[in-house]
Amino acid sequence: MARSTSMIRTAYCVKRTSHYATRITQYLLLVSLLFVAACQANNDSTHHHRFSGVLEGMKVNVVAEVGGRILDITVEEGDPVTLGQPLVTLDDAALHAQVKQAQAALSAAEANLAQVKAGTRREAIAAAEAAWQQAQAERVGAALTLSNTLMIRKNPQQITAQVDAARSGVPLAEQNVAVAETRLAEARYWRDFYENDKGKHETLDRQIGIAQKNLEAAQAQLSGAQAQLNALQAMRSQPVLLQAQVNQARHAYSLTVASEAVAAANVIELKAGPTPEEVALAEAKVQQARAALNLARAAQSRAQIAAPLTGMVAQRSGHVGETVQPGSTLLALVNVDTLDMIIYVPQAQLPRVQIGMPVKVYVDTYPNETFKAEVVNIALQAQFSSRDTQNKEDRANIVFAVKVRLLNADGRLKSGMTADAELQLQ
């Protein structure tokens, strides 16, 4: 009886233990399935995230860099354009005149530089030497007048003899003037005679210059002789004016001495040739004139406005006949070969976003198609947030702008289409 009872208890324990083992196995299997499902759900939410946005093409405003009246606009809104295609023509009449003026200024500067480098012409040196000789003659005449005046003041009885001598000197001076006039006329005659022989022009022109200066010197000598005679006659008639005449003669003599020194310095300077500073100044003027010409040509070229990119005309603001100012917007172009899409990624997911990361774009217009794109830019600063970010819930709302770019070679996608961008975040 006791043995039977023991066997029954043993069988009951084995059966109960087997039941518990089955229950534990089922429980562990259920936990494993739940864990796998949770991991799968967690992986799905982590790897694939969709963000909404709008496709946008690169927009460029075509502006007038110079002012003027619009002569022609070759496109309308919606027209396709290619890079470098002429779009707008402005009236460049004023700009063309500025180019001509700059060209003339450059030519003058280059001619001046050539003249400076060549040095002073022989004709100019000869003229300066003649002027020096004239200044010497004037000084000699002034010295003679001063000497005679002093002598007369010292011995008034000699004034009559001085008047006679001065009176005889006037005809001699007149004769010298006549001779100088004859030589000048002769030089001009031979210059006209050899008008067609350009090889003799330089020599004949130099002779004319010398004859002209000699005539001026003779005329100055005649004027001095006449002035001396008048002064002597005045002193003889009014002896009280003798001291005033002496002072005047002394002042005139000092002026002629200064004039002679200036004329002599001019001759020396002309014979010495140009200084390095003069050449450098002339070269700087040429460079300045050339820069002004380049600037004028650049301004004229801007009267022809070409397309800065390949795309389509989104807006036309200018009209033919309208006068525009520099900086006025004439057209707006949009490049749709590549489209950008701005999406906003929460800051918690931002570390898993990388530039160059592939992106799948789903456009609402083509629901059954997927377009390839990539991340090209990540903002360095949050775009917006609530005023108070001290608690965790508010900080979770902070987002960063991420730019996604996709190719649009076939042109089916348009700027302004709505789309979703799917990022596979790890």
**What one-character-per-residue DSSP string does 295-313 give?**
HHHHHHHTTEEE-SSSEEE
pTM over 0.85: no
pLDDT for the residue numbered 396: 66
Q: Which residues contact 351 (CB under 8 A, 6 or more apart)?
A: none
Residue-by-residue DSSP string for 214-267: HHHHHHHHHHHHHHHHHHHHHHHH-GGGHHHHHHHHHHHHHHHHHHHHHHHHHH
pLDDT for the residue numbered 43: 47
159 lies in the same domain as 230 = yes
Give residue-wise pLDDT tens across range 318-343: 899 999 999 999 999 998 888 999 99
250 lies in the same domain as 140 = yes
Kindly state the greatest CA–CA separation across the chain: 198
pLDDT for the residue numbered 24: 56
pLDDT for the residue numbered 420: 93
Enumerate residue ranges in the chain where pLDDT < 50: 1-5, 7-18, 20, 25, 28-45, 386
**Boundary-marking domain end, from 258, 273, 288:** 273
336 lies in the same domain as 269 = no
Torsion-angle region of residue 273: left (phi > 0), alpha (psi -120 to 50) or beta? left
Total domains present in the chain: 2
152 lies in the same domain as 239 = yes
Q: Residue 399: which domain range?
A: 50-60+331-424
249 lies in the same domain as 385 = no
266 lies in the same domain as 338 = no
Our separate counts of H helices and E strands in the chain read: 8, 12
pLDDT for the residue numbered 7: 46
Give the domain CATH number at 418. 2.40.30.170
In a domain, 20, yes or no: no
Structure tokens given for 262: 């200036």
The Cα 223–Cα 254 span in angstroms is 18
pLDDT for the residue numbered 1: 45
pLDDT for the residue numbered 15: 44
* CA distance to 19, 21, 35, 404, per residue, from 7 (Å): 19, 21, 42, 77
In a domain, 418, yes or no: yes
Amino acid at 92: D
